[in-house]
């Protein structure tokens, strides 16, 4: 049995289970970040021309926020990645543009398809963001209104089952989707005294920044997805000889 550690938040990790199993691998879900809606936040959608989702977590948080009924589902929506786009469509947004790749790619799409003179952009996000969308769109004259609807809370310990598997060298690989998750893993591994356990593992990072955050650990191999997408990261599992 070849086990792969999945470090995504619980709901997103569950969606990956069948895809990993389809490759003949056994997923072990260990969420290193918990997603928690911020209570009482009101969404201000007045005058916006489009809405941006950089995570499916933002879509889910919007549906629970005060004032979400004022966000017209007829508005153009921009989403990072296919999974986020699917969540936006499921929430009722019909006109969804998908940016496959980094936030910089999405910013370029917005600049072309949503000219600044049409009004501000609403960016639904969490309290922590890897890149500042407003900063990226400054040069094109866009006004970006950020709605912080959820917070991501790092885990304070690895689960007992995961610790036992690591100690027994029972995990062959681990998937990492953000630099913050990668840094959390490093911190928890060091705190658990399991640094040596990673020497027999392969790390799979969504981007070079994710992989860079892991290099203080002695992984047997570092693999970075060919593109910064979930599909590319899952595809990379088949290229390093992991088999059950």
For the stretch 120-138, pLDDT in tens is: 999 999 887 766 787 778 8
Q: Is the pLDDT of residue 243 over 60?
A: no
Strand partners, 124: 53, 147
pLDDT of 240: 63
Q: How far apart are CA 220 and CA 202, in angstroms?
A: 6
Q: Is the pLDDT of residue 61 over 60?
A: yes
Nearest to 83 by CA among 225, 229, 208: 229
Instruction: Please state the domain extents for the chain.
Output: 3-32+155-239, 35-153
Q: Is the pTM of this model over 0.85?
A: no
Q: 50, 110 in Cβ contact below 8 A?
A: yes
Among the ranges given (37-41, 174-178, 185-189, 202-206), the one the predictor scored with the smallest mean pLDDT:
37-41
| 182-199: average pLDDT | 97
- Same CATH topology for 3-32+155-239 and 35-153: the answer is yes
Q: Is the pLDDT of residue 244 over 60?
A: no
Q: How confident is the model over 105-122, as pLDDT tens digits?
A: 888 889 889 999 999 999
The b/e string for 186-222 (b: 16+ C-beta within 10 A; e otherwise) is bebbeeeebeebbeebbbbbbbebbbebbeebebeeb
pLDDT of 206: 92
35-153: CATH number: 3.40.50.10090
Q: Is the pLDDT of residue 195 over 90?
A: yes
- Which CATH architecture best describes the domain 3-32+155-239? 3-Layer(aba) Sandwich (3.40)
Q: How far apart are CA 75 and CA 220, in angstroms?
A: 47
| 233-238: average pLDDT | 91
Q: 35, 203 in Cβ contact below 8 A?
A: no
Mean pLDDT of the chain: 90
pLDDT band at 183 (very low <50, low <70, confident <90, very high): very high
């Amino acid at each position: 049995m070849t086990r792969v550690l999945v470090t995504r938040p619980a709901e997103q990790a569950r969606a990956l289970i069948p895809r990993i199993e389809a490759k003949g691998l056994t997923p072990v879900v260990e969420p290193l970040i918990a997603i928690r809606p911020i209570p009482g936040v009101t969404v201000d959608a007045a005058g916006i021309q489009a809405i941006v989702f950089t995570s499916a977590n933002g879509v889910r948080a919007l549906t629970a926020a005060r004032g979400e009924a004022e966000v017209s589902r007829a508005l153009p929506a921009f989403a990072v990645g296919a999974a986020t786009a699917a969540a936006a469509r499921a929430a009722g947004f019909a006109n969804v543009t998908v940016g496959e790749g980094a936030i910089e790619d999405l910013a370029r799409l917005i600049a072309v398809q949503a000219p600044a003179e049409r009004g501000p952009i609403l960016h639904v996000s969490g309290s922590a963001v890897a890149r500042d969308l407003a900063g990226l769109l400054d040069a094109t004259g866009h006004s970006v209104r950020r709605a912080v609807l959820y917070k991501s809370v790092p885990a304070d310990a690895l689960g007992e089952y995961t610790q036992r598997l690591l100690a027994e060298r029972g995990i062959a690989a681990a998937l990492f989707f953000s630099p913050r998750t990668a840094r959390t893993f490093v911190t928890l591994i060091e705190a658990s005294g399991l640094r040596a356990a990673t020497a027999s593992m392969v790390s799979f990072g969504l981007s070079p920044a994710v992989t860079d955050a892991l290099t203080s650990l002695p992984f047997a191999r570092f693999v970075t997805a060919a593109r910064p997408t979930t599909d590319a990261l899952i595809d990379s599992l088949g290229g390093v000889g992991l088999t059950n």
